[in-house]
Structure 1
């Protein structure tokens, strides 16, 4: 219960999520809604109560605001995502903070994101610890900031920085925030309370610096805007962000804030926002696994990488970045030297781009060795094999690892198509074998398919999931089947696209429809980039066991027979002259010949028909994966296609999108 404040430092409870203590005339408020202090109704109510008390109190002359734990406040409370906004709304809270006659100081102890960032923008002075981070990532949920973010940020940072920050949803450091005017001061974590008290006392009795009263310098934002809109690829939220931020230069604050709120509420109900909310919740669900009670991960300090080619060296860089000791292995000294050079080159590139400090570079290089002696892997707690995707090659490696590794050392195979259950039989104690299917480039791509084999022990699975988290990967657990989740669905929709070619569509039409839908690149262009010979080799391997009654499109085979292997050979589905992709009359002739052989009268396809058929093919294969128990949830399938295959996140993934397409 609230009472009259005094300087006794007795805690005052303003709500279940906001408490305060008065010291020397300053009311220090703490937001506490674990784990990230999301802006819940209890936080909003508590802040309003505290501001009411401060306004009436003769004792309180200023207020400070900080978060409990490691966060200041990170975004909206997801429990309220699909509920209508309840009062007091966040815009009411930020307006009230800014209008306070007594100075409100933001003492930023950690990440201030989304609604948390909008609260600090409304404060009159902002000081932060060195590790604080700032961002307005609403665009990632198909939204715009709805509590003044689009109007307050540009008044502090300028239009260019604000457009870039809000439309990309990126997070910036305290140092960047200080440089661009978002915050006023950086202090140490130990000094934060003292510095906030000093700042509050300094501003007591002075007219608060109200953010919305600041003027905006008109500047040419065409370049920044063009860059943002080019990346938006049909998304509403980035486009609306640019429009709203630009209003700061033409409308009054009151009019622009009203427009921001209207836009926020409209976008909240959009298909884009619903799809991105689905993706958000799917990621939370993907982290939940049914493991026997008491399952604990095995300790992993040293990781072995058997095979340091392009994939293996990139996996090595991801492991080094996570702080692991790394032992690479190649069968010859020449290959080992080349592997170490590849890893070092990737580390140097990160250093040159500023993603790695000199100290971190030296540390990671010191943590890395590559040996031509397989017994060097004896000290590894977990070995990831990344050798050529051939069963005999991998089997031989597994047999050799069996004689070197400790019996409890985990062995992960990075195969794309081979059966890890069969590989597991080539090593002693197959319960320690698991699949880790990385996506290229492995140090950048976030997706990791974790293949739970027939014999995999529960603690091996939980250790691998723990490792994935440390490697900063989105781990999706799946069962064993040809191509796992991603490649199996990719094969299904590629097959459907090839059948459409027989029916009358052209490669450039299918690619244009996919790019318009939001894919960064069309299907046939992707195949050309990856190379057509890998899938061709797989089809030849399977030819003897293929069901002759099943439809089969031989157009890709004809391309390969003609030496058209994609970009690397200068021609595939397209011809590449001067680096430009163009339709090729020779491919047209191959497709027409295939239609003639099957006596097909071609018909035109609209872009919507193309997308509908491809979505249906993906969703049907996804349903099959769920029935077989290969995928646990339809959301997992959506995440794999979004994070590994360029499916546009703002469409929610193939399972979500196919359902939506049906309803529309």
Structure 2
């Protein structure tokens, strides 16, 4: 066994230190070491208490993800936790960095917990479609009560040491940087005071009170119905906490394990674990080694102070990088700066930002009307209207003013980056940074690599994306890149289904039931029909609706009718306009089942994803899943379109596409890659 732990005596107190870099994950060697050294301490008559600590930058970040999907090897974490909890000697967890998932469950089995102020504690398993499986759902309610436990575990977000102490999870907050010394002092006080072996499993006060209000669980379900819709893990967590309140501890543990196994075997957990690994993999560029040198980005220029430019600027201000933002008119500049401040003030009101932090960020923002003021910036991002001539003009000007070695980036969402790069004398330093709107909120950043983009520029962009809190996905150059191109297929099919005798609410309902937060037509009404397709000369349903004064929510009607509270209801007026348009185009009417609607809308997205892979626009099928989940809020419990397609069965996708090809023409022909995979019995996951 690899030596991943050591036991040192400090008088009558032993310090057991786990040292399994980088995050002290609870793999097999660590689990065995915990059993071994706790048993050694138990057998040593000179030891009165044990401090459980971890070396490196963190306590334990939880399960060893390298063991996911592999055959189980004993001991499991539940056995280790019970061994710790059953010790006849006081065991104190000394927490720094993060105690997450199984790491926190181990700490909960210790008799007391001490943490430095910077530590963060949480049970994030819900993000993987799972629940804590080593007693977390049974012990946390005994410390903080069922109501707070429901919020804490279904939410999954870690909390600070001080918040954990207020909740009752942590017993003592230590001095920063002096954890072991503070823990030793704390344990000596416990021993001197005759402190009991406080086993969380035996605590009853909190859950005894909860037993008097069983309605709290259904109230919690109702209040979170929208957030939990379509996801199995949150409901299983509620059931597990119900068991903690209603059943004896051992029976509650058994119920937790039963629910855990159900989730683990289910498709949603597999999908969410896939999404977790896919996100980690997406930042790795196959032909750009990890040791590729990156360029310094100390100051950033942003061209355009509109909605996108302002949101982009905020990402850099948030991490302390100065931003120079440029506009062509003072009024536009003032409006953009005011919007940035307003967004920060909203965060201030919500308690997510202090007044000091707000002013510090605004002090890093420098507004100008002179493009020449960007001459010293390390990175300049263009964020203007989607016009090729305009972007080429701006890049030619930037090429003249930017310093040698500066990166020039475009926020274009669909234009040819190579054409933009040719407007400069440095195409090797031109890259696409496609932020999704709102840019200060949406997590996806498509990093678009041009034909000439240098590897250090790609490496810099991928690293910088993570620094500003974005999930980077590398894309090649094509119309719409990855996410917009793939999703356009859904939009086109939704428009056609509308003309084939389906109402907007029938189409939206199918997509909503699949797991999306909103259907395509509710979304169009929200954005505004006068904005969608305003530059197109072709007649469309949306243009017919606008011509009738129906511009969406803001006008009281679009594809739906809206009341004063903007609540949607089906619209006969909209249906009349849709039917008239279908008659004008001569489109035959038919009926569809909900299953057919989902297939018509989403199978073409998969087919387009296969084409994106064929063309080398995306490196991996999983990159497409990440782009769709992070850029379009594709339901994470499905794993993204490519993972979902594997689960549905690729032959079924091919069958749908062949039918659509017969009906709609060559554009719907199943991709060569899709057909090859289906015929060979392979999947996108096997690529």
Q: Same fold (TM over 0.5)?
A: yes
| TM-score normalised to structure 2 length | 0.89
1:544-577, Cα deviation, whole Å (9 max, x unpaired):
xxxxxxxxx9434533554544334433322323
- Are the equivalent residues in 1 in contact too, given 2:433–2:446 (CA < 8 A)? yes
Would the aligned equivalents of 2:24 and 2:59 in 1 still touch at CA under 8 Å? yes
Match of 1:27 in 2: 14
Q: Deviations over 1:93-131 (max 9, x none)?
A: 111111111011000011000000101111111000111
What are the equivalent positions in structure 2 for 1:19-98 lying under 5 Å apart? 19-98=6-85
Which residue is 1:333 aligned to? 330
Deviations 1:258-310 (A, max 9, x none): 00011111210101101001101111210211345553111110011111111
1:469 and 1:435 map into 2 onto residues whose CA distance is 16
| Matched-pair contact (CA < 8 Å) for 1:15–1:46 | no
Give the CA deviation at 1:603.
Answer: 2.6
SS at 2:300 equivalent = strand
1:521-541 deviations in Å (ceiling 9; x for gaps) = 11111122223345524643x
Deviation at 1:598, TM superposition (A): 5.3
2:517 maps to which of 516, 520, 541: 520
Q: Partner of 2:183 in structure 1?
A: 196
Partner of residue 482 from structure 2, selected from 482, 485, 488: 485
- Compared with structure 1, are the counterparts of its residues 586 and 489 closer, same or farther at alpha carbon in structure 2 (3 Å cutoff)? same
- The aligned residue for residue 8 of structure 1 is none
Runs of 4+ in 1 over 6 A off after TM superposition: none
Task: Note if contact 2:31-2:80 (Cα within 8 Å) is conserved in structure 1.
Answer: yes
Residue 5 of structure 1 corresponds to which residue in structure 2?
none
Query: Structure 2: how far apart are the matches of 1:434 and 1:61?
Result: 62
SS in 1 for 2:186: helix
d(CA) in 1 for partners of 2:579 and 2:330? 52
Which of 268-277 and 218-227 deviates more?
A: 218-227
Residues in 2 aligned to 1:513 and 1:555: alpha-carbon distance in whole angstroms? 20
What is the rounded CA distance, in whole Å, between the counterparts of 1:385 and 1:626 in structure 2?
28
1:323-358 CA-to-partner distances (Å, cap 9, x unmatched) read 101111111223222222222222222233222233
Distance 1:522 1:439 in 2: 18
Match for 1:592 among 579, 582, 587? 579
User: How far apart in 2 are the matches of 1:458 and 1:533?
Assistant: 41
Give 1:4's aligned residue: none
Distance 1:344 1:86, change over 3 A: same
Q: Structure 2 residue aligned with 1:269, among 256, 265, 272?
A: 265
Work out whether 1:226 is the aligned partner of 2:222: yes
CA distance in 2, matches of 1:562, 1:84: 63
Correspondence 1:344 to 2:341: yes
1:536 match: secondary structure = coil
Report what 2:420 is aligned to.
423
1:319 match: 316
- TM-superposed CA distance for 1:439, in Å, is 1.1
What does 1:601-640 align with in structure 2 at a 5 Å threshold?
A: 601-640=588-627
- Equivalent position to 1:236, from 225, 232, 236: 232
Displacement of 1:247 in angstroms is 1.9
Q: Which runs of 5+ in 2 are unaligned?
A: 653-687
**Whole-Å separation in 2 of the counterparts to 1:165 and 1:227:** 15
Task: State the shift of 1:387 in Å.
Answer: 1.5
How many pairs were matched up? 640
RMSD, aligned α-carbons:
2.0
Q: 1:288 aligns with which of 281, 284, 300?
A: 284
Contact 1:164 1:228 in 2 (8 A): no
- Which consecutive unaligned segments of at least 5 residues does structure 1 have? 1-13, 544-552
**Could you tell me which residue of structure 2 aligns to residue 392 of structure 1?**
389
Aligned to 1:414: 411
Answer whether contact 1:615 1:657 (CA < 8 A) is retained.
Answer: no
- SS in structure 2 of the partner of residue 74 of structure 1: coil
Please tell me whether the aligned partners of residues 243 and 255 of structure 2 are also in contact (alpha carbons under 8 angstroms). Answer: no
CA contact (8 A) 2:529 2:543 kept: no
Output one character per residue of 1:173-201: Cα deviation in whole Å (capped at 9) or x when no partner. Answer: 11110111010111123221112112333
Counterpart of 2:544?
558
Paired with 2:501 and 2:635, the residues of 1 have a C-alpha distance of 26
Q: C-alpha separation between the residues in 2 aligned to 1:274 and 1:358? A: 42
Please report how far the alpha carbon of residue 599 of structure 1 lies from its aligned counterpart in structure 2 after TM superposition: 5.0
1:210 pairs with 2:207:
no
Moved more, 333-342 or 632-641: 333-342
How many angstroms apart in 2 are the aligned matches of 1:536 and 1:105? 63
- SS of residue paired to 2:442: coil
Alignment partner, residue 530 of structure 1: 527
Aligned to 1:158: 145
- d(CA) in 1 for partners of 2:71 and 2:319? 41
Counterpart Cα distance in 2 of 1:605 and 1:435: 41
